Amino acid sequence: MVDPLPCLLRCRKKLAGLSRTKKKNILAGTLILTVGVGLFFYSFLEMPAYARTGDSKKTISPETVDPLNKIGKGVAIKKNQAEISCQDGVYIQKEAVSNGKISEMLDGSPMEVMVEALDKREGKVASYLVAIAKKESDWGRHSPKKAGRECYNYWGYRGKENTTDSGYSCFDSPSHAVEVVGDRIERLIDSKIDTPAKMVVWKCGSNCETAGGQAAANKWISDIALYYNKLNS
C-alpha cells in the first residue's frame, strides 16, 4: 500500500501561506485521493493471489485430464444396450439386444418362459435363438414331446440330450435348452457363420439341394432375416 505521509508533508509546506479553511480542505482532499489510490493498487495486486489460492484447492480427476488413465481398470459403461469394457488397454464391445424387444415379441407364446435365459446371451446369439425358433416351431407351438412332457426344443435341434424317438433333443428346462442350443449357435458365429444366409447350414447342413431344395433354403433365410433384423433394428 502507498504511504501517504511524504506526500502530505510536501503539501503542508506549500499550504503554509493559505488560510486555515483552505488548508483543511486541500489536506482532506489530498488524503482521500492518496488513500483511494493506495487501496486500488492493493486490491489489484492481491487479486491474482486469491485466484491462485482458489485454483490450488480444486481436485481434478486424472481420468478427466487423460481418459487413457481408465485403461486396465476394467471400466464398463452402458451405451445403447451394449456393454463396452476396457481390459488391458483394449476396448471390447459386447452387443446386446434389449430384452424388452424379446419379451414383447415372445409374449403369449410357449417360448415366453425363456426370456430370462435369453437375456443372458450375447445379442447375436439371442437374436438367432428367437429367429430360428420362430421358423422351426412357431416359438414352441409345434415342438417335440417325450412321454407327454415338453422338451423345450424349439429349434429342431438334434443332439445327444435325452433324445426322442425322432432324434430330437429333450431338454430338462427352458434354461437348459437356451444354454445348449445357444452354445451351438455361438460356436457357429465364432466360425464366421454370422449372417442369416450363412446360418442356413442350420437347416441344410452342407447341401441345401438334399434338404428341401434351394427355394426352401431361400425362404428359410428370408424368414430368419426378418426376425433377426427386427431385434437388431
Q: Residue 230: which of 88, 77, 128 has the closest Cα?
A: 128
> In whole angstroms, what separates CA 20 from the centre of its chain?
83
pLDDT score recorded for residue 35? 60
- Per DSSP (E only), the strands in 68-183 are 76-79, 82-87, 90-94, 145-146, 149-150
The H or E element that residue 189 is part of is helix 174-190
For domain 99-232, which CATH number applies: 1.10.530, 2.40.50, 1.10.10, 3.40.50? 1.10.530
Q: How far apart are CA 182 and CA 223, in angstroms?
A: 19
pLDDT score recorded for residue 26? 63
Q: Residue 130: which of 209, 185, 90 has the closest Cα?
A: 185
Q: Residue 104: which of 139, 80, 153, 137 has the closest Cα?
A: 139
Q: Please give the span between the terminal C-alpha atoms of the chain, in angstroms, as a whole number.
A: 72
Q: How far apart are CA 107 and CA 99, in angstroms?
A: 12
Q: Residue 202: which of 139, 129, 119 has the closest Cα?
A: 129
Q: What is the pTM of this model?
A: 0.60
Q: How far apart are CA 97 and CA 105, in angstroms?
A: 12
The H or E element that residue 222 is part of is helix 214-232
pLDDT score recorded for residue 112? 96
Question: Residue 13: how many CB atoms within 10 A of its CB?
Answer: 8
Residue 129 corresponds to which cell in the numbers above? 435363438
Domain boundaries, the chain: 5-56, 62-94, 99-232
pLDDT tens string for the chain (233 positions)? 555 555 555 655 555 555 566 656 666 666 666 666 565 555 544 544 444 444 444 454 444 444 334 333 333 323 334 444 444 443 334 455 555 889 999 999 999 999 999 999 999 999 999 999 999 999 999 999 999 999 999 999 999 999 999 999 999 999 999 999 999 999 999 999 999 999 999 999 888 887 788 999 999 999 999 999 999 87
